[in-house]
């Protein structure tokens, strides 16, 4: 199974897309994230990727009410990221019906936390490996560390995490295609599955990602909102 996962990014209560994760380069696609989600559900989405962009930057989720409303409105699977830094937030999201929670920044700075949640929740936890120039980016991509993304992914695997979400931040929202070389290199370096994100622009991009061993899905954002990809056609792949 290869999952096609539409993204609904939430900033200040609106559905937006950022260019390369830059908060001063946003495009608002809907004033209602719920209606944006409904669009993809109506077109057949089985999974959806919800991002609290305010939370990713601030360190605590600021759009929980919006996320809860979306998750409770549709009978599909949801994964949530952005500002997930405490056990309380994780448990709240699972309590809302979220299928998978993605931890980013805290996974970089707190190995014990990662080990604890990986052991407790198993494959319901994923870690976001967000790479800028091959280095791990944190805090809503506003800070780039000295940590090599591939080395970090291996460490995450050793901590018991069952899945990673890999994003090349330079490709995100740029509609220039994924960084296939980095994706394949990372997939070959670990033994756990990954979901690819960032730059997916065409059906051919999806087909190429599907051929990479270890990649079991992709997150699509701007290409759907701009009409570059038809969700129905993507789901047929």
Tokens (6 digits) for 38: 């409904």
Is residue 28 a contact partner of residue 45, using CB atoms and an 8 Å limit? Answer: no
Among the listed residues 3, 24, 110, 130, the single catalytic one is 130
Spatial distance between the Cα atoms of 2 and 132, rounded to a whole number of angstroms: 25
110 is catalytic: no
> Whose structure tokens read 């014990």?
112
Q: How far is CA 23 from CA 16, 59, 80, 193, 227, in A?
A: 10, 15, 19, 30, 23
130 is catalytic: yes
Among the listed residues 9, 52, 168, 172, the single catalytic one is 9
Instruction: Return the ∠ at Cα 127 (arms to 136 and 114), rounded to 5°.
Output: 100
Q: What is the DSSP string of 31-46?
A: S-HHHHHHHHHHTT-S
Q: Which phi and psi (to 5°) does residue 15 adopt?
A: -90, 120
Q: Which sequence positions are flagged as catalytic?
A: 9, 130
């Amino acid at each position: 199974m290869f999952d096609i996962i539409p993204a609904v990014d939430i900033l200040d209560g609106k559905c937006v897309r950022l260019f390369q994760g830059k908060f001063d380069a946003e495009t608002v696609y809907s004033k209602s994230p719920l209606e944006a989600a409904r669009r993809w559900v109506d077109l057949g989405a089985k999974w959806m990727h919800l991002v609290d962009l305010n939370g990713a930057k601030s360190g605590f989720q600021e759009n929980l009410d919006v996320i809860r409303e979306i998750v409770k409105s549709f009978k599909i699977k949801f994964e949530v990221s952005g500002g997930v830094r405490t056990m309380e937030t994780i448990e709240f999201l699972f309590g809302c019906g979220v299928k998978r929670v993605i931890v980013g920044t805290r996974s970089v700075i707190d190995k014990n936390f990662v080990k604890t949640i990986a052991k407790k929740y198993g494959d319901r936890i994923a870690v976001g490996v967000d790479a800028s120039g091959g280095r791990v980016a944190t805090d809503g991509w506003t800070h780039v560390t000295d940590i090599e993304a591939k080395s970090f992914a291996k460490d995450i695997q050793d901590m018991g995490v069952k899945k990673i979400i890999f994003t090349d931040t330079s490709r995100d929202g740029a509609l220039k295609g994924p960084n296939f070389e980095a994706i394949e290199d990372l997939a070959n370096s670990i033994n756990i599955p990954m979901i690819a994100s960032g730059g997916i622009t065409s059906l051919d991009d999806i087909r190429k990602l599907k051929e990479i061993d270890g990649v079991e899905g992709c997150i699509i954002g701007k290409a759907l909102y701009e009409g570059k990809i038809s969700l129905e056609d993507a789901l047929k792949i």
